[in-house]
Amino acid sequence: MMQSNIFVKVGPLLKEKQFNIDVDSFINHMAYYTSGKFVYPSAIHRELKLSIQDVYSIMELCAEQGLLEQYLQIYCPRCQRFVGSDNIYKTALEIPEIVNCVHCDEEINNPLQHAVVIYKVL
């Protein structure tokens, strides 16, 4: 059985807010993001050709509606990739002083500066 698309719930709200998006195709696209998956705003921005500001506004709205939860992940300044799925943090306080990139072994000394907001589907 297919898991129901929880993003349908925010459809009316998204339409009401009048974002410059096609709400239905956004919702269809988000069907892929089932519970427990992480949503990368940069990926949504690329895949749906929405402005990054719009993507973050929409993600925040989904978070307010209890569909998503905000997390932080470290983006490696050297190899330009996320440093690994073990390095996902709930708050800035959880980020250690040094984070090592699993891809290129870069030692990131100021990881908070390289933290990117991502969202987990609840």
Residues that bind Zn ion (CB under 5 A): 76, 78-79, 101, 103-104, 106
DSSP state of 71: E
Q: Please, what is the minimum distance in Å from the beta carbon of residue 91 to Zn ion?
A: 23
> Please, which residue, 33 or 82, has the CB nearer to Zn ion?
82
> Please, which residue, 78 or 120, has the CB nearer to Zn ion?
78
Q: Please, what is the minimum distance in Å from the beta carbon of residue 99 to Zn ion?
A: 10
Q: Please, what is the minimum distance in Å from the beta carbon of residue 70 to Zn ion?
A: 23
Of 5, 119, 20, 3, nearest to 64 by C-alpha is: 119
Contact 83, 76 (CB under 8 A): yes
- Give CA–CA dist 26/22, Å, rounded: 6
